[in-house]
Chains A and B, each alone.
Chain A
Amino acid sequence: MMSPRVIAIREEVQGRNDLVAAMNRERFERCGVFVLNIMSAPGSGKTEFVRRTLADIAPWGPSPYTPDDGNYDRAHSSHLDDQRKVRMAAIVGDIATDNDARRLGLTGAEVVQITTGGYCHLDAGMIAEAAAGMDLSGLDVLVIENVGNMVCPATFDLGENLRVALLSVTEGEDKPLKYPTLFKRADVVVINKIDIAEPAGYCRELALENLRRVAPQATIFEVSARTGKGMPEWYTYLRSQVARNRVAYAEVTPPLTSSPGGRS
């Protein structure tokens, strides 16, 4: 009879996801597209934040849908005159329904829905599959809107360039302390719904202090995706990131003459 023995393994459990994420990242780089992974609790306003971004700065915007929602404030619309448009598409993850994809599709952008069927987060394999049929080479930005959940999505690399965590003023100033993993791994934190900060009893100083202690690396934006307040600062930042990505991409890759990452 064989005696017990120990096999050393030392393998990362998420290694397979990380491998697919690396392949995604390679394809995104080859196509020169900058990829956002947007994460938050359900109800923080991810879809509205993405919708407004698509409607305001994508080439087909501002969509007629934008001023019609009754909350649109022209005071925050100076960016609409800006000719530096950003070509965008979106992948949206939900447990059930394609409501968000239909809502985002009204902007005119290409939107691919992933319905996870109970799965609490997106993983790199789902993104590879969803992105397979998209013509990425014609895009500047691909927005991935993750499943509404502050825990599970935080540790899954999808191959993105920028991790964005959303938080709304109604969720409590201590949310970053309760869900540190998400915020510690975020490049950007967006505080949303600042138009209702006062009735929500939101303490801005406390929220910012908590955020800066938990996530000192994060760039913070304070916005109302509904009224548009604070959104121009986010657009400026996004444009600068896209420009930086293009420069980095041009340095490592000769210009494309065809689009190998296109539809197949």
Chain B
Amino acid sequence: MHEVGLMQEALDIVEDHARRGGAKRVLSIRLRVGDDSGVMPDSLRLAFDALVPETIAGQARLDIEAGPVVCYCPRCNDEFAPDDIFYECPWCGTRTSDVRAGREFQVVSVEVE
């Protein structure tokens, strides 16, 4: 359960940007959690509920968008979206560990007033 620490980091980033932007309060927070980021959205939500009352984002809504995994097949010289945890090219079957997207865990934006 490292999501508490990660959520705290995310809220620090949110507060930082909100204050610099002269916001009075944060209405919503948008996170992007890649499917191969190792971060569990459900655990993030639990952590969010526990941590957020203390912050400028006390009443904010949390939106979490998924980040689909995109891999690269060196043989086909093309990208593909894997169906499961096996990153195997759907055209030639090559196994790859070249991940081009899906490992991100970002604060995308905040809505403030």
A residues touching B (Cβ–Cβ < 8 Å)?
1-14, 16, 119-121, 151-152, 154-156, 177, 180-181, 184, 212-217
Give the interface SS of chain A, mostly helix, strand, loop or mixed.
Answer: mixed
Give the interface SS of chain B, mostly helix, strand, loop or mixed.
Answer: mixed
Evaluate contact between A11 and B38: CB separation under 8 angstroms: no
Task: Kindly supply a per-residue 1/0 record for chain B positions 35-60, scoring 1 wherever the CB is within 8 Å of any chain A CB and 0 otherwise.
Answer: 01111000000000000000000000
- Partner of B97 from A4, A13, A177, A184 at Cβ < 8 Å: A184
Give 28 CB contacts A-B under 8 Å: A2-B113, A5-B111, A6-B110, A7-B17, A7-B18, A7-B110, A8-B109, A9-B17, A9-B106, A9-B107, A9-B108, A9-B109, A10-B106, A11-B107, A12-B106, A13-B13, A13-B31, A13-B105, A13-B107, A16-B9, A119-B5, A120-B1, A152-B2, A155-B37, A181-B36, A214-B86, A216-B96, A217-B97
Question: With an 8 A cutoff between CB atoms, is B112 at the interface?
Answer: yes
CB distance from B13 to the nearest CB of A (A): 5
A14 nearest in chain B by CB position = B105
Evaluate contact between B95 and A216: CB separation under 8 angstroms: yes
Evaluate contact between A7 and B21: CB separation under 8 angstroms: yes
Evaluate contact between A10 and B108: CB separation under 8 angstroms: yes
- Partner of B10 from A5, A13, A217 at Cβ < 8 Å: A13
Q: For A121, what are the chain B residues with a Cβ–Cβ distance below 8 Å?
A: 2
A1 nearest in chain B by CB position = B113
A3 to B24: give the CA distance in the assembly, Å.
11
Q: For A214, what are the chain B residues with a Cβ–Cβ distance below 8 Å?
A: 85-86
A142 to B21: give the CA distance in the assembly, Å.
43
CB distance from A10 to the nearest CB of B (A): 6
Evaluate contact between A120 and B13: CB separation under 8 angstroms: no
Question: With an 8 A cutoff between CB atoms, is B27 at the interface?
Answer: yes
Evaluate contact between A4 and B27: CB separation under 8 angstroms: yes
Evaluate contact between B38 and A12: CB separation under 8 angstroms: no
Assuming A121-B2, A216-B95, is B111 touching A14 (CB within 8 A)? no
